[in-house]
Amino acid sequence: MKAELPLSIETITQYVLENRNLDYTPGRKSVYSNFGYALLGLVVEKASGRPYESYVIEQVLNPLGIYDMHLGKSLPDNRFENEVHYYGLKGEREVLSSFGTGERVPKYYGGNSIETLGAAGGWVATPTELMKLIVAIDGFDLRGDILSRESIQEMTKSSRWIRPFGWTGTDNNGYWWRTGTLSGTSALLKREQNGLSWVLIINTTPKYGARFPVQINKTMIKGLATIDDWPTYDLFDYYEPKSMKSNLLTFNN
């Protein structure tokens, strides 16, 4: 392509359309595709006439009370104010920078191009913000959904050859889950049939890689089974207590 680094999703799209064939006849089966979701981001831009990030923030996130969710950046100097630091495995090898500098950098800080990932999983968010999104598409009646019941059913149905939309997997028992793993981070979201949903995000490369969510799921199942009484108030209404510094005791050495 003779394109300068970092590559844009438009350049990658042009390359795929000119040099790759479809893996199978559309409609016969489906597989997860980062490129497919990045392409969907371009479709959103074309249909809305707006930048993908701006459209999602204004039309989807802000109306749900989500105000601190953004598309991430690759380099540590471009972290958002509330964004964590990311860490890799001990001894993890460095790779060539995706920015074309010739430097060898950590995968999680310049090796992977988060800007190119974009709509395919480049969002930075807290677990609370993700939960606000989940309860808006979970199909339960406690909070109103932003999708119709028919759309949610279409999104979550799956078979041997057809995967659900957006979710990593669903089953006939009402469990839906979404995983995500990159160097420096891993996430697992789960919607359970009993009305419970939960999110776990870490800022470290998991030792078990893509198998890490399986270990977390087992741990969460055991932990949730020990809880008999759940809070009756809306956890999204929780707020941090005012400073208690005046009541703290001071000890001298």
Per the domain annotation, does 30 fall within a domain?
A: yes
Residues 45 and 86 in one domain: yes
Q: Is residue 31 part of a domain?
A: yes
Residue 248 lies in a domain: no
Please report which confidence band the pLDDT of residue 239 belongs to, taking 50, 70 and 90 as the band edges. Answer: low
pLDDT tens, position by position, 69-85 = 999 999 999 999 989 99
Domain that holds residue 86: 1-125
- My answer on whether 26 and 105 are in the same domain is yes
Taking residues 35-57, report their average pLDDT. Answer: 96
CA-wise closest residue to 169 among 212, 123, 114, 214: 214
Residue 133 lies in a domain: no
Model confidence band, residue 253 (pLDDT cutoffs 50, 70, 90) = very low
Q: What is the mean pLDDT of the segment spanning 31-37?
A: 90
Q: Phi, psi (5° rounding) for residue 185?
A: -165, 155
CA distance 101 to 86: 21
CA 210 to CA 228: how far, in whole Å? 31
Confidence at residue 181, expressed as pLDDT on a 0 to 100 scale: 87
If asked whether residues 158 and 54 sit together in one domain, one would say no
Query: Do residue 200 and residue 98 come from a single domain?
Result: no
Task: Note the pLDDT of residue 73.
Answer: 95
Residue 134 inside a domain? The answer is no
CA–CA gap between residue 215 and residue 221 (Å, rounded): 10
**What is the total count of domains within the chain?**
2
Q: What is the arithmetic mean of pLDDT over 38-65? A: 96
**Pair 51, 14 in one domain:** yes
Neighbour tally for 25: CB within 10 Å: 7
If asked whether residues 111 and 177 sit together in one domain, one would say no
- pLDDT exceeds 70 at position 42: yes
Q: Is residue 1 part of a domain?
A: yes
- pLDDT for 252: 45
Which pLDDT does position 60 carry in this prediction? 96
**Are residues 113 and 219 located together in one domain of the fold?**
no
Tell me, yes or no, whether 110 and 222 share the same domain: no
Per-residue pLDDT, 242: 59
Same domain, 6 and 116: yes
pLDDT (average), residues 85-101: 93
The mean per-residue pLDDT over the stretch 103-124 comes to: 94
**What average pLDDT is seen over the chain?**
90
Q: Would you place residue 246 in the very low, low, confident or very high pLDDT band (cuts 50, 70, 90)?
A: very low
Q: Do residue 79 and residue 177 come from a single domain?
A: no
Last residue of a domain, one of 92, 125, 158: 125
Task: Tell whether 119 and 220 lie within a shared domain.
Answer: no
Task: Report the 3 state secondary structure along the chain.
Answer: CCCCCCCCHHHHHHHHHHHCCCCCCCCCCCCCCHHHHHHHHHHHHHHHCCCHHHHHHHHHHHHHCCCCCEECCCCHHHCCCCCCCCECCCCCCCEECCCCCCCEECHHHHHCCHHHHHHHCCEECCHHHHHHHHCCCCCCCCCCCCCCHHHHHHHHCCCCCCCCCCCCEECCCCCEEEEEEECCEEEEEEECCCCCEEEEEECECCCCHHHHHHHHHHHHHHHHCCCCCCCCCCHHHCCCCCCCHHHCCCCCC
112 and 172, same structural domain? no
How large is the average pLDDT for residues 173-189? 92
pLDDT single digits (tens) 4-29: 999 999 999 999 999 999 989 988 88
